[in-house]
Amino acid sequence: MKTQALHRPPHAPATALADSPQRQPPAGPVHWRQFVQWLLMQEVITRDEADRVTLRCSQAESSQHPLIRLSALSVQAASDGHVMDIEELTQQLARWAELPYQRVDPLKVDAAKVSDVMGAAYAERHRILPIAVSPREVVVGVQEPFITDWVQELERQTKRNIRRVLVSPPEIKRYIAEFFALARSVKAAVKAGGNTTAASFEQLVELGSGNKQLDANDQGVVQVVDWLWQYAFEQRASDIHLEPRREQGAIRFRIDGVLHRVYQMPIGVLNAMIARVKLLGRMDVVERRRPQDGRVKTRNPAGAEVEMRLSTLPTAFGEKLVMRIFDPDNSVKTLSELGFTPDEARRWETLTSRPHGIILVTGPTGSGKTTTLYATLKRLATEEVNVSTVEDPIEMIEPALNQTQVQPQLDFSFAEGLRALMRQDPDIIMVGEIRDLETADMAVQAALTGHLVFSTLHTNDAPSAVTRLMELGVPPYLINATVLGVLAQRLVRTLCPACKQPDEAPDPESLAEAIKPWTLNRGNYRPYRPVGCLECRMTGYRGRMGLYELLGLSEDFKHLVNKEPSIDRLRRQGVKDGMRPLRLAGAIRVGEGMTTLDEVVAATPPLH
């Protein structure tokens, strides 16, 4: 300890800290002056910074928690001068109090269980938040670490040990409101008949039909659905699953391609929620024996409009509902945001700027094909061109496009839709998928008559799209005359930037085996490994990016197509022409520290 750090310099203001900082923790609420003294004594902040903060705080008293006050004053750390945010300040307070610091992960909190431990009024009064409940222990988040008079009382009531962890005051305030409000809504729905038959629920949540007045029980179901949507938007979910089980209903979110269980509730309440969503999606609420599709629009916490595609399916334990979220903030992105390298973006933009021909995007379901096509079409859809699509279904409404949806029950297929679009004076056409020879023939005819046609195929890689067209019956000479290029893609999870660490001991044999017969320059290969933090829900990954394999049909490639060669010969020719295989593109991203080799190997086909 540096002695001079504990003495006030002669020029210090009258409001500066006392010469003898308090060493013992207080026996009551944390006071800003005591906390600043401790930060100074631990050399977390400098004497000058302590004097500045003391002067500012002394000028006006406040009932705010000291952590909130100091965070607003942009306290600078002594080490490098960076501004400590409220999370870092809370960690310092945890050090002083000798308590674990914890950020609340709402996906890991069972709101129903924690709300049974104590009432909302009790939590508000003591500013505490139960965040985990087990048969022997309750983990309670606190913002006042030195106030413990409630601990014995709660241990007596719950007959469990209480383990305290320090949580930042904003999180305490936010989640007290959220968790207890959710629990109240669910309990209100149960009280309204949550364990009765589904038919009574359909009557209960028939909100807005006729002139019926809503009562508190109706509002319980409405509030649960509203909470569910807003919570899904905050968690960056792409899908919401409402799944009936034998005794309980399950709610799961798909985040970054992985499903997470969020909540369990009585099966009756889940049925009421499904009925509520079906009503909003203009679906038949009473019909539960056959699948239905619908759409609903709402707004995210930022106020932006969000569209959701609804799909129901009868299961052994009742009707299941899946909501696919199309958030405008997450849907139409730039090529670099999707994961294109600068070279890939340049080549793709050059290819898609051609006046006519066929461009195919391939990959399995859920690999991001639609997102890539929408991003491309949005860039091409200027006032000077007519961009028309035929889709199954329309996944995102884009004002710049003229979109239509196939309707098999009316014999309106992709081929019929494409035939109709040809009479609509289009410049650019997007066909959702080429599934049969009739659709392929119409796409070829559209390209031959001067239109730029985009479509998708389900193939493992880019060269396989050419052989797939030949299998459908398209002659090789028409493929050569119309197909401009093929983009194959996959999605991989990206490493969490908040916690990823350099991989000091990468396995060279695993890399060599994964990209055989290619090799990478080890000098530029700097992989990172996943660690896990609350930002990424301890998975080590946050977000996803695309891996791309772009094949342009060169003259040599076309000459080979005329001979109807094997797929291996097409792949080798594609590589000669500059095509980078998906596995190799992924290995490069691993070397850049953006994802992991395990992710790439799991998502991409092996090299041939």
Q: Which one-letter DSSP state was computed for residue 11?
A: T
For the packed helices 567-576 and 462-472, what is the interaxial angle rounded to 10 degrees? 140
Question: Of the ranges 335-344, 384-393, 545-554, which is most confident?
Answer: 545-554
Q: Is the pLDDT of residue 37 over 90?
A: yes
Would you tell me which CATH number, out of the four given (3.30.450.90, 2.60.120.260, 3.40.50.150, 3.40.140.10), belongs to the domain 201-329?
Answer: 3.30.450.90
* Mean pLDDT over each residue of the chain, to the nearest integer: 85
Separation between Cα atoms, residue 103 and residue 540, nearest integer Å: 16
The pLDDT tens digits for 427-478 are: 999 999 999 999 999 999 999 999 999 999 999 999 999 999 999 999 999 9
Per DSSP bridges, beta strands 292-299 and 305-315 are: antiparallel
Mapping DSSP to helix (H, G, I), strand (E, B) and coil, where does residue 27 land?
A: coil
Q: Is the pLDDT of residue 172 over 60?
A: yes
Cβ atoms within 10 Å of 220's Cβ, excluding its own: 23
Lowest-confidence pick of 103-112, 302-311, 350-359: 103-112
Separation between Cα atoms, residue 200 and residue 198, nearest integer Å: 5
Picking from 267, 268, 308, 318, the residue whose alpha carbon sits closest to that of residue 288 is 318
Q: What is the reported pLDDT for 46?
A: 94
What mean pLDDT comes out for the span 531-544? 84
Q: Is the pLDDT of residue 207 over 80?
A: no
R_g of the chain, CA atoms, integer Å: 30
Q: Is the peptide bond before 9 cis (omega within 30 degrees of 0)?
A: no
Q: Which residues contact 237 (CB under 8 A, 6 or more apart)?
A: 253, 254, 255, 325
Residue 306 bridge partners (DSSP): 298
Q: What is the reported pLDDT for 550?
A: 98
217 in Cβ contact with 192 (< 8 Å): yes
253 in Cβ contact with 242 (< 8 Å): no
Q: What is the reported pLDDT for 116?
A: 84
The sign of the CA dihedral 339, 344, 350, 354 is negative
Q: Is the pLDDT of residue 204 over 70?
A: no
The pLDDT tens digits for 389-441 are: 999 878 777 888 999 998 887 888 888 999 999 999 999 999 999 999 999 99
Lowest-confidence pick of 178-182, 218-222, 351-355: 218-222
**pLDDT band for position 10 (cuts 50, 70, 90):** very low
The pLDDT tens digits for 88-99 are: 999 999 999 999
pTM of the predicted structure, to 2 decimals: 0.71
Q: What is the reported pLDDT for 427?
A: 96
Would you tell me which CATH number, out of the four given (3.40.630.30, 3.40.50.2300, 3.40.50.300, 1.10.1040.10), belongs to the domain 335-491+544-579?
Answer: 3.40.50.300
Residue 456 parent element (H or E) = strand 452-457
What mean pLDDT comes out for the span 253-277? 87
Q: What is the reported pLDDT for 352?
A: 97
Separation between Cα atoms, residue 137 and residue 159, nearest integer Å: 9
Per DSSP bridges, beta strands 137-142 and 128-133 are: antiparallel
Fold match between domain 201-329 and domain 335-491+544-579: no
Concatenated DSSP letters of 195-236: TS-HHHHHHHT-TTSTTPPP-HHHHHHHHHHHHHHHHHHHTT
**pLDDT band for position 539 (cuts 50, 70, 90):** confident
CA atoms within 13 Å, Cβ hemisphere of 23: 3
**pLDDT band for position 328 (cuts 50, 70, 90):** low
Long-range contacts: 347-352, Cβ < 8 Å, 24+? Answer: 347/550, 347/552, 348/376, 348/487, 348/548, 348/550, 349/379, 351/484, 351/485, 351/550, 351/552, 352/376, 352/379, 352/380, 352/452
Q: Is the pLDDT of residue 145 over 80?
A: yes
Q: Is the pLDDT of residue 507 over 80?
A: no
Q: Is the pLDDT of residue 202 over 70?
A: no
What mean pLDDT comes out for the span 14-36? 66
**C-alpha pair distances (Å), 19 with each of 26, 96, 119, 398, 571:** 18, 19, 44, 66, 76
Lowest-confidence pick of 265-269, 273-277, 352-356, 586-590: 265-269
Cβ atoms within 10 Å of 215's Cβ, excluding its own: 11
**C-alpha pair distances (Å), 58 with each of 32, 55, 69, 144, 492:** 10, 5, 12, 21, 52
Backbone φ/ψ region at 509: left (φ over 0), alpha (ψ -120 to 50), beta:
alpha
294 in Cβ contact with 310 (< 8 Å): yes
381 in Cβ contact with 387 (< 8 Å): yes
Q: What is the reported pLDDT for 580?
A: 94
Q: Is the pLDDT of residue 79 over 80?
A: yes
- Per-residue burial over 558-570, b if 16 or more Cβ lie within 10 Å, else e, is bebbeeebebeeb
Cβ atoms within 10 Å of 551's Cβ, excluding its own: 30
Lowest-confidence pick of 68-72, 74-78, 265-269, 310-314: 265-269
Q: Which CATH architecture best describes the domain 106-192?
A: 2-Layer Sandwich (3.30)
Separation between Cα atoms, residue 221 and residue 226, nearest integer Å: 9
Q: Which residues contact 264 (CB under 8 A, 6 or more apart)?
A: 110, 112, 248, 249, 250, 251
Q: Is the pLDDT of residue 20 over 60?
A: no
Domain coordinates in residue numbering, the chain = 32-97, 106-192, 201-329, 335-491+544-579
Q: Which one-letter DSSP state was computed for residue 412?
A: B
Q: What is the reported pLDDT for 39?
A: 95
Separation between Cα atoms, residue 440 and residue 473, nearest integer Å: 9
- Amino acid symbol at 57: C
**pLDDT band for position 25 (cuts 50, 70, 90):** low
Q: What is the reported pLDDT for 128?
A: 94
**pLDDT band for position 286 (cuts 50, 70, 90):** confident
Q: Which residues contact 559 (CB under 8 A, 6 or more apart)?
A: none
Q: What is the reported pLDDT for 115?
A: 82
Q: Is the pLDDT of residue 313 over 50?
A: yes
